[in-house]
Structure 1
Amino acid sequence: MLARVIGIGDYLPLILATVGFTVAGALLLGLALSGSRALFLRRWRGYFGAGAFIGFLALYFHNWREDQIRLSHQALRTGRDLQKIEAAGFVIFSETGSWPVGTNPEVTELLSTTTVAGERILELDYLTISSSGAIVDPWGSDLLFTVTDEEGLKATSRGPDRIEDTDDDLP
């Protein structure tokens, strides 16, 4: 909490890693320069281990946190993409009276067509398209398209685990 208030929360794990490795390095340097290595080791061995442990633990936490931030950014982008795809499906429905149905590549082709007014329904430039012509999520899985009477076209991502019907799926 204090780290957030003073603005160093993002850097705290790296600061701890630096401190831990600095302590360990200083103790190694002291060992090298010490006249009585056995006495030095007995006296400072625990501090060296603690410094190295803090350093490695802080780096591990920093890397884990970076992974969590990356995943949340991917999920946010995917959620926005799914909303745009569903809105494009509604445009097709309002112009033709039917929802786009079929396999992912077939729906992708329908969504990328032009409207009666000559405008493209869905810009594919910001989406990832596989070699088979399917829209894929940031984790490499094809999006799933379903049509219901209540919601119309519903696009779903399997999420980071790439398994359908799990807690990390993005509606």
Structure 2
Amino acid sequence: MLERHGHLPGYTGHIPKNQQIEEPPQPQPRRPQLPNYMGFIPGVKSENLFGKTYGKITEMSALGTYNKGRDIPVEDKFKSITQENYVNQLRIYVPFLHPKEYPLPPEDPINEIPSETLSKFYGVKPSGNLDDMGRSLSNYYERDEGQEPEVNRQDVFAATRNFYGDEERYDGPTETKLSYDEARKIASQK
């Protein structure tokens, strides 16, 4: 029942009697990758469409008039294709282009709304009267350059009173009404 069928002890599965050796892959014959390409043409140089050699070299190779051998004749070796057709690009005249004329942008429609209406809409007090602004500008530009502007000198307290609209004088926190302990006791009682 347990017969040895190959190299694995106890394996009773399929073991082929004759090992088939796989053939190595055969080299594929060369096939042309280009349509109607019939193979390498000996003695053909690459053709240059810009050097105006396109078609001339094909004709030479078809007729067999190309040079055979290792060395090229002197007239072919030192012949420059580009020298005859060279054009200095810096010397070519290019007409100046005029800038494109764009139409004027449309006017912003918010400029048509009166400033008082905009101020009411945004909840902002309207800016000062334009007559006041014109007066202040005329006063500014009336004085000479060397002339000093008239300055209304006032002390800091008067300026603070005018700025904040306070009628009584503010002396600042110079006097301490309560000590620290007294303030703590009052705060803890509440």
Same fold (TM over 0.5): no
Pick the TM interval, shorter chain.
Answer: under 0.3
Normalising to structure 2: TM-score of the pair? 0.18
Which of the two has higher C-alpha Rg? 2
Greater relative contact order (CA < 8 Å, ≥ 6 in sequence): 1
**Structure (1/2) with the larger strand percentage:** 1
